[in-house]
Structure 1
Amino acid sequence: MGTQRRFRATVMVDRRGRTIVPIPFDPDEAWGMKPRHPVRGSVAGCSMRGNIEKHGDGPALTLGPAWTRVPLRDGAEVDVVLEPEGPQRADLAPDIAAALDAAPDAAAFFDSLAQFYRNAWLRWIDSTKRNPEQRPVRIEEMVRNLQQRRKERP
């Protein structure tokens, strides 16, 4: 998959037992501009899900003790495989993508949502197959709700 990234990283473990994995590339350049990047993959061979967020030293992935079944020591060098989680803007139907492109604030909020919420919006729009005239109405309603920073339909 073209969006998958593989690299080696030296992890840091803080006092609370969280493992911090520095990211050696700019996720905004790799996967598009977002406030945070929900990702899935593996760290030291253990499957994980989390968010890449901006930190003082650059982007990093912070994993709580529950995600690191095998505790890593501070300074350990590990293999990391990451890819964006959930539907990405490039994967959207053209009519949905166009509506989000026309409303950048709604698009930014959509991009920040967890996979669950993005999938729920898309399923709701796709459920109009028997009434195709409802599709543009639902897309418009989704954009309006996203502009009001609603994760799901009221």
Structure 2
Amino acid sequence: MIVPIPFDPDDAWGHKSAHHVAGTVAGRGVRGVIESYDGGPGIVLGAAWRRDCGVRAGDQVSVILVPEGPQRGDLAPDVLEALEAEPAAGLFFDGLAQFYRKAFLTWIDATKRRPELRAPRIVEMVDLLKAGKKERPPG
């Protein structure tokens, strides 16, 4: 089942390669990615979500969706500046699922006791994002 989105997510939330969202449909929690379909943007409600929910195709329901995870406005100024300086890295970061964005930010923020590591970690994150890497290698 596809829930149509009656607006352009790029206009509402800024251009991203993928819009990961969270919220509710008919009062039940949902997470997903807004994708393009024949009728425009929408999210898919899979079989597990639909099971015993009482919602059928064609039903009118309340839908509340918000961008998931840290957004550009939530970023520290140095991280934001680095992503804005490298638009390809910034666009890739914006399209990542919240898990990956949070992992990068947690890794950068883990430098509180060793602030000299913060700038090199930001540089490494940007390099990884430019290379299309969702996460840093183990180690």
Cα deviation for residue 71 of structure 1 reads: 4.4
Cα deviation for residue 150 of structure 1 reads: 0.8
Cα deviation for residue 30 of structure 1 reads: 1.1
The total of aligned residue pairs comes to 136
Contact 2:16 2:94 in 1 (8 A): yes
TM-score, normalization by structure 1: 0.84
Matching of residue 121 in structure 1 with residue 104 in structure 2: yes
- Give the aligned partner of residue 22 of structure 1: 4
Choose between structure 1 and 2: higher strand proportion.
1
CA distance in 1, matches of 2:57, 2:49: 16
Contact 2:2 2:43 in 1 (8 A): yes
Q: Deviations over 1:5-40 (max 9, x none)?
A: xxxxxxxxxxxxxx2011111111111101221111
Q: Deviations over 1:75-123 (max 9, x none)?
A: 1111101111100011100100000001111111111111111000000
Which stretch has the larger CA shift, 120-129 or 61-70?
61-70
Matching of residue 149 in structure 1 with residue 99 in structure 2: no
CA distance in 1, matches of 2:50, 2:72: 30
Contact 2:18 2:96 in 1 (8 A): no
- Give the aligned partner of residue 116 of structure 2: 133
Choose between structure 1 and 2: higher helix proportion.
2
- Give the aligned partner of residue 44 of structure 1: 26
TM-score, normalization by structure 2: 0.93
5 Å matches for 1:61-76? 61-69=43-51, 70-76=53-59
The Cα RMSD (Å) is 1.1
- Give the aligned partner of residue 40 of structure 2: 58
Unaligned residue ranges in structure 1 (runs of 5+): 1-18
Unaligned residue ranges in structure 2 (runs of 5+): none
Q: Which amino acid aligns with 1:95?
A: D
- Give the aligned partner of residue 83 of structure 1: 66
Q: Which amino acid aligns with 2:134?
A: K
Contact 1:46 1:68 in 2 (8 A): no
Matching of residue 108 in structure 1 with residue 94 in structure 2: no
Which stretch has the larger CA shift, 46-55 or 88-97?
46-55
The runs of at least 4 consecutive aligned structure 1 residues that moved more than 6 Å come to none
Question: What is the percent sequence identity of the aligned residues?
Answer: 60
